[in-house]
Structure 1
Amino acid sequence: MDESREDMLRRRLKGAAPPVVLPCLAWAVCGTMTSMELTADQRRLLLDVARQTIRAALSAAGGTVPSLGQAGGTETTPPTPDDPVLHQRAGCFVSLHTLDTHRLRGCVGRLDCRDELIVAVRQSAINVLHDPRFVDCPVTLEELPRLEIELTLIFPMEQAAHCLDFQPREDGIFLTIGDRGGCFLPQVARETGWSREQLLARLCTEKLGVHPDGWRYDESARLYKFKTLVIGPEPFCPPASTSESTAASESANTTTSPSAKEIPAHRC
């Protein structure tokens, strides 16, 4: 008997890519940041926290990317600004692009909402320096003036009714098949114009390492969707009139960020 198309696809889906640690969806239930209303000062403050974390980590490592074990201690952790929005729970992605050509230099973040936003921003700022796509040409301290930075705040995920149950330009998506998972931020659909089917096919091949029709034929496929708030992009080194918030640099309330290897990170 000839092998059916569905059986062939299911067979191909076995293996292919190493497993990834899936985000803890149970944390996206309570105690999380659900409002998307932030003032201009709060948005600037969050960008400044990410800027300072990246600059401090690179400076402490002599201008190059610090090791994961080195990053995250009090010696490279800027003071915590005194703003209640930073103590709400949310996920965060940090993206770095070149100013002139908008070429990607790193995009890494956290989907879970289990930690305070200040922790998520700092964690993702450290992790973006370790984007495995740029292991041979990592971001350096000298390069920062030629980059722009963007934050994407992640709000609690909900399981979609089916894999096509999302709005491509409005929803971020996280697809799981078995123990594999991968996500796209809404910016991907906005920049590429891909349809739902194209986004899911790309997720399967580029993030999960499975057949492009895996989302359609694998019975274990599950889709989760989430809303986001984009802050930026802005030049990493802004003009003096919009320089980093004094509140972020003058506060004496220092904290210790978790080590970058403690919490799974995802690439956008």
Structure 2
Amino acid sequence: MDAFRFVLTDQEKDYLKNLVRLRIAARLAGRKAGLPEPPSELLREPYGAFVTLTLRGRLRGCIGHIVGDAPLFETIGEMAEAAAFGDPRFPPLSREEFEHVAVEISVLSPLTPCPDPALVTVGRHGLLVRRGGRSGLLLPQVPVEWGWDRETFLDQTCRKAGMEPGCWRDPATTLFWFEAEVF
């Protein structure tokens, strides 16, 4: 897999981070947020993305859309609301929490089948495992944050899917990889 060559300017990153905060603030106020015009055409391109919210260093919500089938800025806005109010692991974000929440955005490269798990590089690749009706995804930054090696990363992706560790070795399991621009 060639390196993901997606680069955003500081202005584009600031726009997307502000968009996340705008969408969450509007929802907390009970109104619909308008989408300000993006500063570049790149933000109108279709990319998958995740929005991760943390509070005092702990996960508070993380939702994403894997497939790039809508303009990036629209996807980021939708994922912002989903991470704040729709992550089933957490109650909806409160106004008090909103004041202290940190935002991380991950823009995803297209998913492609991983030809060999031995090629997975911790910190570079994100993974998706799929078998039957189960799937699990971990972003590239997750194994770095937890100090995992490649095999632990693969096993934990299986666990995220509700499958047994080592499921990635099963020929019935499909393994996909991707890269991300994280900011």
Instruction: Normalising by structure 2, report the TM-score.
Output: 0.90
Q: How many residues align?
A: 179
CA distance, structure 2, for counterparts of residue 97 and residue 45 of structure 1: 19
Partner in structure 1 of residue 70 of structure 2: 115
The residue matched to 1:97 in structure 2 has which SS?
A: strand
Q: Looking at CA atoms only, which structure, 1 or 2, has the larger radius of gyration?
A: 1
Aligned with 2:156 (options 182, 202, 208): 202
Partner in structure 2 of residue 173 of structure 1: 127
Greater fraction strand? 2
What amino acid does structure 2 have at the position aligned with 1:133?
R
Per-residue deviation at 1:82?
Answer: 4.5
CA distance, structure 2, for counterparts of residue 163 and residue 175 of structure 1: 11
Partner in structure 2 of residue 94 of structure 1: 51
Aligned with 2:11 (options 36, 41, 55): 41
- C-alpha contact (below 8 Å) 2:15/2:39 kept by paired residues: no
Higher relative contact order (CA 8 A, sep 6+): 1
Per-residue deviation at 1:35?
Answer: 4.0
CA distance, structure 2, for counterparts of residue 160 and residue 113 of structure 1: 19
Matched, 1:157 2:127: no
Q: Deviations over 1:110-134 (max 9, x none)?
A: 1111111011101111110211111
Which runs of structure 1 show a deviation greater than 4 angstroms over 4 or more consecutive aligned residues?
none
Partner in structure 2 of residue 3 of structure 1: none
What amino acid does structure 2 have at the position aligned with 1:144?
F
Gaps of 5+ in 1: 1-33, 62-74, 232-268
The residue matched to 2:89 in structure 1 has which SS?
A: helix
Instruction: Normalising by structure 1, report the TM-score.
Output: 0.63
- C-alpha contact (below 8 Å) 2:129/2:175 kept by paired residues: yes
CA distance, structure 2, for counterparts of residue 151 and residue 227 of structure 1: 13
Determine what percentage of the aligned residue pairs are the same residue.
Answer: 31
Q: Deviations over 1:4-42 (max 9, x none)?
A: xxxxxxxxxxxxxxxxxxxxxxxxxxxxxx642211111
What amino acid does structure 2 have at the position aligned with 1:131?
D
CA distance, structure 2, for counterparts of residue 79 and residue 43 of structure 1: 14
CA distance, structure 2, for counterparts of residue 120 and residue 145 of structure 1: 23
CA distance, structure 2, for counterparts of residue 179 and residue 165 of structure 1: 26
CA distance, structure 1, for counterparts of residue 9 and residue 164 of structure 2: 43
RMSD: 1.6
Per-residue deviation at 1:76?
Answer: 3.1
Partner in structure 2 of residue 239 of structure 1: none
